[in-house]
A and B are shown apart, each in its own frame.
Chain A
Amino acid sequence: EAGVAQSPRYKIIEKRQSVAFWCNPISGHATLYWYQQILGQGPKLLIQFQNNGVVDDSQLPKDRFSAERLKGVDSTLKIQPAKLEDSAVYLCASSFLAGEVTQYFGPGTRLTVL
């Protein structure tokens, strides 16, 4: 069974530029999560999707971050414009059922904002 796929693995941009990350969850997993992991900290949830609907985006900085999961499968997270403090690893995770707490994580995208 293929795991959670993410791309790109690394990205370096200048502040005020835009960037997008892609995630493809495990096949059949209905729930998809995006986490932000700043260096030296644990992951923090940005947004949770159930199929193509948003369940929780309370921690998403909506003035600059956006995310979509249009067909209920893969997802894109965008930052526009990026700030220095957005430098982090962005992790995507998925779980099979709604409310199921066992999540499977992708390798992450390491973003550096200069």
Chain B
Amino acid sequence: AQSVTQPDIHITVSEGASLELRCNYSYGATPYLFWYVQSPGQGLQLLLKYFSGDTLVQGIKGFEAEFKRSQSSFNLRKPSVHWSDAAEYFCAVGHYNQGGKLIFGQGTELSVKP
């Protein structure tokens, strides 16, 4: 079955510290991979995506993610967290041969300590 697992429900980091959010997936083939961010009361904003090629992808707001096929993982990183990064982060997978629909993880809530 296709699924996405985000093992950490809630993470707290200090402002200026580095961040890594974990994402593991189960899919029939190598899917397209996404990270979205959701601020309170807002919709989902696309941070970055991986389709093919270089396994380290850069996104907006200083985020990056690395695709590791052997581990079926697509972890999100940021070298220095800002207070405005506090939000909910969702990993998602999809493929054009599945009609483009996305399967989401349950999300990781990020809190930032001053």
Q: A residues touching B (Cβ–Cβ < 8 Å)?
A: 4, 6, 31, 33, 40-45, 48, 55-56, 91, 93, 95, 98-108, 110
B92 contacts which chain A residues (CB < 8 A)?
Answer: 42
Contact B46–A101 (Cβ < 8 Å): no
Q: B residues touching A (Cβ–Cβ < 8 Å)?
A: 4, 32, 34, 36, 41-46, 49, 90, 92, 94-97, 99-102, 104-107
Known: A41-B107, A42-B106. A105 touches B32 (CB 8 A): no
State how many angstroms separate the Cβ of A93 from the closest Cβ of chain B.
8
Contact A99–B99 (Cβ < 8 Å): yes
State how many angstroms separate the Cβ of B77 from the closest Cβ of chain A.
20
A80–B107 CA distance with the chains assembled, in angstroms? 29
A-B contact pairs, 11 of them (CB 8 A): A31-B100, A40-B107, A41-B106, A42-B104, A42-B107, A99-B97, A100-B100, A101-B94, A101-B100, A102-B49, A103-B100
Contact A45–B106 (Cβ < 8 Å): no
Q: Which residue of A33, A48, A91 is within 8 Å of B43 (Cβ)?
A: A91
Closest to B94 in A: A101
A21–B30 CA distance with the chains assembled, in angstroms? 35
Instruction: Add 7 more A-B contacts to A93-B44, A99-B99 (CB < 8 A).
Output: A40-B106, A41-B107, A42-B92, A43-B104, A55-B99, A98-B99, A102-B49
A48 contacts which chain B residues (CB < 8 A)?
Answer: 99-101
Closest to B45 in A: A105
Closest to B9 in A: A40
Closest to A103 in B: B102
State how many angstroms separate the Cβ of A22 from the closest Cβ of chain B.
15
B32 contacts which chain A residues (CB < 8 A)?
Answer: 101
A109–B8 CA distance with the chains assembled, in angstroms? 26
A45–B101 CA distance with the chains assembled, in angstroms? 7
Q: Which residue of A6, A91, A110 is within 8 Å of B44 (Cβ)?
A: A91
A108 contacts which chain B residues (CB < 8 A)?
Answer: 42-43
B42 contacts which chain A residues (CB < 8 A)?
Answer: 107-108
State how many angstroms separate the Cβ of A38 from the closest Cβ of chain B.
10
A105–B39 CA distance with the chains assembled, in angstroms? 13
Contact A42–B105 (Cβ < 8 Å): yes
